[in-house]
Structure formats: C-alpha cells, structure tokens
Structure 1
C-alpha cells in the first residue's frame, strides 16, 4: 500500500465496490475524522477511455471543490498498482435507494428539499464550465448529516465559459436511460442544458413515482425520450401544483433554446 496513504489514513471496512476498485471508510490519523477512500486498480483499466476518466474525474472534483453539495476531493495518492482518492464520506445512501424504497411518492416540500441543493450544485458546475452529463439518482448521495452531495464525475466534460472564457458544445453519447436528454441520443452537438433535462426527470419521478419516458427495453426507453412527449396523468398529478408542473415543462423541454438554464431554475 502507498506509504503516504498509510501514514495519513487508517483504512477501515469496505463500504462499496465498483468496476475498477473498492471504496473503504478511512480515518485521518491527524484529525480523527472519517472519509472515503476509493482505491482503483490500474490493471483493471482496459482502454484509453477508462484512463481518460480516471485522470479527468479528480481534476474536475478539484475544480469544483468548495460547493457544499458537491462531493469534495481531499487528497490523491498513487503507487505502482493503484490510485487512491480520498473524498467526503457519504454513508447515508443515495437517492435511488430512497426513491425505490419509499411506499409513497414524495410530497412537493419533500421533493423540493432534495431538488434545491441538487440544482444549486448543477448551477455551480455550469458556472465553472463543467457539465456532469450523467445526473441520475444513483449519483446523488447523502452524508451522515443527510446533506446531499452530487458525485461521480467520470462522464463530466469541461465546456469552458467559466470566468468568461470561450464556450464550446459537446458531443458523445453518455448518460443513462430514463434520464438522458434527447439531443444526446440524436448524436447532435449539445450544451450543458442536458443536465437540466436530467434533473427535471428526477423531480418528475420524485413527485409522480414513475419516469416520464420509459419502455420495456433500453431501446424503447430511448425512443420515448427522443419523442419527448411529456404528459401529466390526472390520477398522478391531480394534487400537484400548477407551479411544479410548469417548472417540469420548462426543464423537460425538447426545444433546448426554450429549456431553462440551471441558473434560471435556481431563481424560480
């Protein structure tokens, strides 16, 4: 194990496992505070895309450090076999678990308590010139104080614009069925408003209990997303306010020029 990591942190139990490595709870030998250590085995990185994601995510997390609702990067250690990334410890589950285990839909105040810090984090990313590109409930996690943290920036892209620099559009099919914006699936150039679409879908699911676009297979789901025919079934949305439905229409809007920006959503 990396000598610097052994000196600065005591590794404890395993709390997660992914395609490239293991996440441990760890304790700072200096402060006694708990953190998460994501240890990635380099031999499992099979191609240049994996390597690019590995290199890009810490840089983006470092750029975004400081916002209370974005997972904070604290330290990086590297040895011959592994990369070890120290981040906030978020041991209170993710939004996907909360959505799938609740017996009822979220009330509007409950949904707002999650949605507001999420859109604040997204807006901050966009001000810094970063698009997450994979906003979904699995990547929205909670720490021991129940504070929301936006995580997993492996698909994120820097589009510029932060600090007044030149902006550029993005390409590439990334994202997850149900949440991906239609312009991504069409293979067009797109901008950071893909994150607004995804956040709108999450808000819809919290309020309705079902996604706005779905199919029996991933292909059918993608086709429904590309049609973008947003509906508000009366049996589900009878008690939902007109303000909430209006916000959803302006976020899950196929016409990107009419779709709200994250900053505009935040000001609503």
Structure 2
C-alpha cells in the first residue's frame, strides 16, 4: 500500500480535540484515550479523585480549594524541606508536588496541545514517611530505582507488611540532590509525567524530597522491560500487540509536542496484565522544557546512539519523528532478536545509514510478513519528513488486521507472558529433576532407592 504525505481519510477520532487544554481528564467525554480500555481499569488507574483512589488530584489553580493550603512559591523556596525548580515550574515537598506555569518559548503563544498550563498536584499519600523500599531494581552512577510498598503506618514504627493479596508495589527512583545533572533529569521526568495521563505511559504516582534526596514514585511494572524478551522468539501477534501500545503512547506524547528521545526496549515496560508502557522521561524534550544549561532541546545530542536517527547522530535539528525511527529499530529487534547496528560505533552507524538504500530487507534480511516490513520501512525513512507520525502508523493495514485497540493489544501480550511463564516454570522443573538424577548417579544410587 502506498502512503502519501497528504492526510489520509482515516479515523483519527482518538486524538484529543484541539479545543482541550492540558492532559485529558478522568471523565469519559473528555478523555478520548479511554475508549480502547476497560472503563473500570482506566478509572481506577487514572482517577483524580484523591485519597479514595490513591492517585494525585489534578486540577486548575482556580478551580480546586483543596490545594489552597499548599505553600506559595515564595514560601516553598524558603523552606528547607522543599526542592524548587523554577525552570520546570515545580516545587516538591515531603508530601506534595506543586506545578506552576512552565516558561513559554520566547515569542510564541500557548497552544491547546501545550504543557505550558498552570496546574497543581497535591499528593494524597504520605510518601516520605510511609514508603518502604523492598529491594533495588537497578542502580546507576548516582541514582537507584527501588521496588517499594506504601505501609499503613510510618516506616520508622516498623509495621508488618500488608497481606500479599492486598499489596500494591511502586517503582521509586531516587537521586541525591547534589548531583545536578541527575536531579535535572528526574525533575524533568516529574514535570512531564505529572502533566500527562495515558494508558500507554508509565503512571506518575507522586514525588517527595527528604534528607537531600529527590524521589519520583511511579507505577510498578511487574514483568520488567521489553529488553528481557529480545533474543527469544516473539510471535507476530505479540509484536503487533506491543507495537500498538508503544505507538499509542507516542501519539499521545507527540500531540503534546513532546519528544521522548530515548525509545528502546529497555525503556518499554510490561505488566502481567499485558499492558505495555513507555517509561524514563528524564531526557524528554518539548515546548517549555530545557536542559540543565538552559539550552533548547530540539538539537541536543542525548539518548542511546544505536537507536538514534541519522539527523540526531549528526547533531542536526530534529522533530518528534526521531522517536518513530527508534520505534522502527525496536520492532526490528523484536522480529530478528538482534540489533541491526550491533557492535557498531557512532561513525560506523552513520556510514551504514548513509549507504543504505532504504529497503528493510537490505538492512537485516526479509521480514516474516511483507506488511510488517512495510510498516518498519515507514518508520526508518532516512528523511525525517517521510516518516509517518504515530497516529497514522496505528492505522497501518498490518496492525489493523491484528489489533483493534489497546484492550485487545494488552490481552495478546498478557496471554504471551502467561504462556512464557508456564514454559519457563516447566523448564526449571525439568532442570531440577535432571540435576537430582545427576547427583543421585554421582552418589551411586537411583532415585527409586
């Protein structure tokens, strides 16, 4: 099927209307992204209803009296227990996050799909006193991500853990506030996630500042990253289910003029329910967001080189379609179990892209289905203006034949994860039995003895 640059006559009704300002609310008529999810699940995960739901309440400054007891920006900056980031419009205390106006780009007006709105979030949970870290999930040079749980009473009182059936886990990313670069990244992540609500983006739960440590609390994705599944045999329908949800999240981000800039399997997270979500927004760029030096982010070279498009590798200006290139590389990895530029340095990758004729089959070989190869080709166009945006890729024939929405996509991935777990458990059982037989043989006896 030939794609044209002009807008096709397809259904794009899932996109937010141009008259809406800020992230979609929890009401069904104002949240176009709920249409493909079970209403009960979406409402539970995204409600702004306060303590009953356990989510942060989101409202405009003028419409919500519940945030009136928050310190003013002046009070917040003078408080020793509060971290202030004027550039990102954030104040973070021990039990709240306050969002002020984001600085508008010079000479530009605010648009409906802009994050330059004035919002406030007040945490409904006592993160700084009741959140217990169970184990580290990963460590960086200056930051750590923990698997955490919120206890019914302060951690200092050493309360017992809730029953297993009622536990809810979180992923908590913590960084020492004296590390300016890492602090800038985590603040940016808070600034992005606290303004967005999409079923295919990792949910923001809260943030707090305590003992000179800045912590971001996110939903916990129990099955880890997509990177854990690369290298195995991922069925085509599962590739479709995962791809659909990644594109869904990207279409939402790009609508808000945000570019993730680090799409790769390690930043795509999976849950046991089959949900696939984009995470790690520490280097995201967009209107009103700046890097630590105050520079604009539409030409900064950050991210993972093996997933960068040609224009980014050369240090040229780029648009949100650079995420589409990274998505295309990710699909290739899922399909072939390896990266097309594995083992190459930056210069070699640039040369390979320059010399490549644009045919996917000449990059890694023929893909299993022509429709999937066509989809990847639309993502890996060397000229960024020829790459299709995420919302149009969602309507591509190969995806539409297999997935009709986020709910169905999640179901496909859930069944795959369940089957994979059962197979791995069976293999582990066989391995244990084989090891027992070997030990018995070494001891000169049979298992029947």
TM-score tier, shorter chain, comes to 0.7 to 0.9
1:224 aligns with 2:352: yes
1:42 aligns with 2:143: no
TM-score computed with the length of structure 1 as normaliser = 0.84
1:118 aligns with 2:246: yes
CA 1:80–1:9 in 2, change beyond 3 Å: closer, same or farther?
closer
Residue 258 of structure 2: aligned partner: 130
**Aligned-pair CA distance for 1:145:** 2.5
**Aligned-pair CA distance for 1:80:** 4.0
Q: Distance in 2 between matches of 1:13 and 1:211?
A: 31
Q: Distance in 1 between matches of 2:331 and 2:386?
A: 19
Residue 372 of structure 2: aligned partner: 244
Q: Distance in 2 between matches of 1:114 and 1:148?
A: 6
CA 1:52–1:110 in 2, change beyond 3 Å: closer, same or farther?
same
Q: Distance in 1 between matches of 2:341 and 2:135?
A: 39
Counterparts in 2 of 1:100-249, with a 5 A limit? Answer: 100=231, 102=232, 104=233, 106-159=234-287, 170-230=298-358, 231-232=360-361, 236-237=365-366, 240-249=368-377
**Aligned-pair CA distance for 1:33:** 2.0
**Aligned-pair CA distance for 1:41:** 1.5
- Could you say which structure has the larger radius of gyration? 2
RMSD: 2.6
Q: Distance in 1 between matches of 2:339 and 2:331?
A: 9
Q: Distance in 1 between matches of 2:364 and 2:350?
A: 25
Q: Distance in 2 between matches of 1:223 and 1:135?
A: 22
Q: Do the aligned residues in 2 keep the contact of 1:74 with 1:87 (CA within 8 Å)?
A: yes
Q: Distance in 1 between matches of 2:140 and 2:363?
A: 40
**How many residues are matched?**
253
Residue 15 of structure 1: aligned partner: 137
- Which structure 1 segments of 5+ residues have no match? 161-167
Matched residue SS, 1:63: coil
CA 1:93–1:54 in 2, change beyond 3 Å: closer, same or farther?
closer
Q: Distance in 2 between matches of 1:256 and 1:217?
A: 22
- Which structure 2 segments of 5+ residues have no match? 1-80, 82-93, 96-125, 153-165, 289-295, 397-449
Q: Distance in 2 between matches of 1:234 and 1:146?
A: 30
Q: Distance in 1 between matches of 2:299 and 2:259?
A: 12
Q: Which digits, 9 at most, give the CA deviation of each residue in 1:103-162, with x for residues without a partner?
A: x3x3321211111101101111101221100100110111242321211111100147xx
Q: Which digits, 9 at most, give the CA deviation of each residue in 1:36-83, with x for residues without a partner?
A: 22221223x1x4x4443232110101122x211111111111024201
CA 1:86–1:185 in 2, change beyond 3 Å: closer, same or farther?
same
CA 1:36–1:51 in 2, change beyond 3 Å: closer, same or farther?
closer
Counterparts in 2 of 1:28-39, with a 5 A limit? Answer: 28-29=150-151, 32-39=167-174
Q: Do the aligned residues in 1 keep the contact of 2:225 with 2:265 (CA within 8 Å)?
A: yes
TM-score computed with the length of structure 2 as normaliser = 0.52
2:188 to 17, 33, 56: 56
Q: Which digits, 9 at most, give the CA deviation of each residue in 1:206-245, with x for residues without a partner?
A: 112333345543432343245454441599526x222111
Q: Distance in 2 between matches of 1:92 and 1:150?
A: 13
Q: Distance in 2 between matches of 1:235 and 1:220?
A: 16
Q: Do the aligned residues in 2 keep the contact of 1:92 with 1:141 (CA within 8 Å)?
A: yes
Q: Distance in 1 between matches of 2:130 and 2:348?
A: 49
CA 1:125–1:209 in 2, change beyond 3 Å: closer, same or farther?
same
